[in-house]
DNA sequence: TTGACCGTACTATATAAATTAGTACAGTTA
DNA sequence: TAACTGTACTAATTTATATAGTACGGTCAA
């Protein structure tokens, strides 16, 4: 479900967070689906539970998941969260595109690249 | 020329580095143009000279600038550097686009966004 | 009701990364 | 010579990251 890459410069808690956020916003983790428990995931990834907890806490603060006391953590699919994510990604897209244009890459080259992507169902 | 954002999670030396790299690859800092001296920039940004030095050292190692002993640091515009930068940005573009597609944004919406960008001459 | 889960909240510790401070040396230039 | 340049150190500090261990209250099924 989540994999770690120790060559990644991002800290572990961040990799976990980014991984789940991506699963959630892509729909791979549906609304109200349960996330692995803190202890369970910590064991399967062979890392400290506190590191998972840090990721979960941040995700809850940012509205990606909610927790039910004694039961576990569950995915949110709040419209506001999705909209925020879309906004951030669009901003990234613009930033990257502007830099590419600065570097002499044409709009058509960029568009062709996007057009060539495989859209999974 | 370079501004710092203390709310940015990136370390200071990284912000400085990214800032100059962007100036260089965009051509805002032309080939063989001089960068501010380590001490001068440190003073104007009110940070430690060692932090600037760290950014400059990395930029030189990566081929973005070269230094002449006793004179200063100057911008490179090496083709290999430009190509590498283009490659990295293209990868970012693909990553961001794929996430947008996951979120239900259509290819056409993405392409329209790119098409709407102002190309500065 | 007991036992096994769940998230959460602590304290403490260890390590690495980032930043600051200060000093020093060699090359350049007016 | 004096003022600048990059560079190379050591040292100290702060912050971020990760681990370790303990504890508390809620949930749920046996």
Q: pLDDT tens digits, residue range B102-111?
A: 888 999 999 9
- B68 or B7, which is more confident: B68
DSSP state of A117: S
Angstrom distance (rounded) from CA B56 to CA B68: 13
Angstrom distance (rounded) from CA A111 to CA A94: 12
Across the range A25-40, mean pLDDT stands at 94
- The pLDDT confidence band at residue A8, using thresholds 50, 70 and 90, is confident
Is the Cβ–Cβ distance between A107 and A101 less than 8 Å? yes
Angstrom distance (rounded) from CA A65 to CA A33: 10
List chain D nucleotides near protein: any atom < 7 Å from a Cβ.
Answer: 4-11, 16-21, 25-28
DSSP, residue by residue, B65-84: EEEETTTEEEE---HHHHHH
- The pLDDT confidence band at residue A25, using thresholds 50, 70 and 90, is confident
- Closest nt by CA–C1' to A70: C6
Q: Does A39 touch chain B (CB under 8 A)?
A: no
Name B84's Cβ contacts closer than 8 Å, sequence gap at least 6: none
Q: Closest to B113 (Cβ–Cβ): which among A25, A93, A101?
A: A93
Residue A78 pLDDT > 90, yes or no? no
Q: Phi and psi dihedrals of B109, rounded to 5? A: -65, -40
Nearest Cα neighbor of A51 from A11, A20, A10 is A11
Is the Cβ–Cβ distance between B2 and B16 less than 8 Å? yes
Is the Cβ–Cβ distance between B13 and B2 less than 8 Å? no
Q: Which of A44-48, A49-53, B78-82 has the lowest mean pLDDT?
A: B78-82
Residue B121 pLDDT > 70, yes or no? no
At B14 the pLDDT is 95
- Model pTM above 0.75: yes
Nearest Cα neighbor of A58 from A25, A7, A15 is A15
Q: Where do the H-state alpha helices sit in chain A? A: 12-25, 38-45, 49-61, 79-102, 107-115
Quick: pLDDT tens for B42-74. Answer: 999 999 999 999 999 999 999 999 999 999 999
Angstrom distance (rounded) from CA A110 to CA A100: 8
Neighbouring-strand partners of residue A36: none
At B115 the pLDDT is 95
Residue B78 pLDDT > 90, yes or no? no
At B118 the pLDDT is 83
Quick: pLDDT tens for A79-120. Answer: 888 999 999 999 999 999 999 998 889 999 999 999 999 876
Q: Does B97 touch chain A (CB under 8 A)?
A: yes
Residue A66 pLDDT > 70, yes or no? yes
């Amino acid at each position: 479900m989540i994999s770690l890459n120790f060559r990644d410069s991002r800290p572990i808690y961040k990799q976990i967070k980014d991984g789940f956020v991506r699963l959630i916003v892509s729909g791979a983790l549906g609304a109200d689906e349960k996330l692995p428990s803190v202890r369970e995931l910590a064991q399967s990834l062979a890392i400290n539970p506190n590191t998972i907890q840090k990721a979960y806490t941040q995700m809850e603060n940012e509205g990606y998941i909610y927790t039910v006391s004694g039961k576990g953590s569950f995915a949110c699919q709040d419209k506001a969260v999705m909209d925020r994510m879309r906004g951030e990604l669009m901003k990234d897209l613009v930033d990257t595109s502007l830099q590419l244009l600065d570097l002499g890459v044409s709009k058509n080259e960029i568009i062709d690249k996007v057009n060539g992507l495989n859209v999974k169902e």
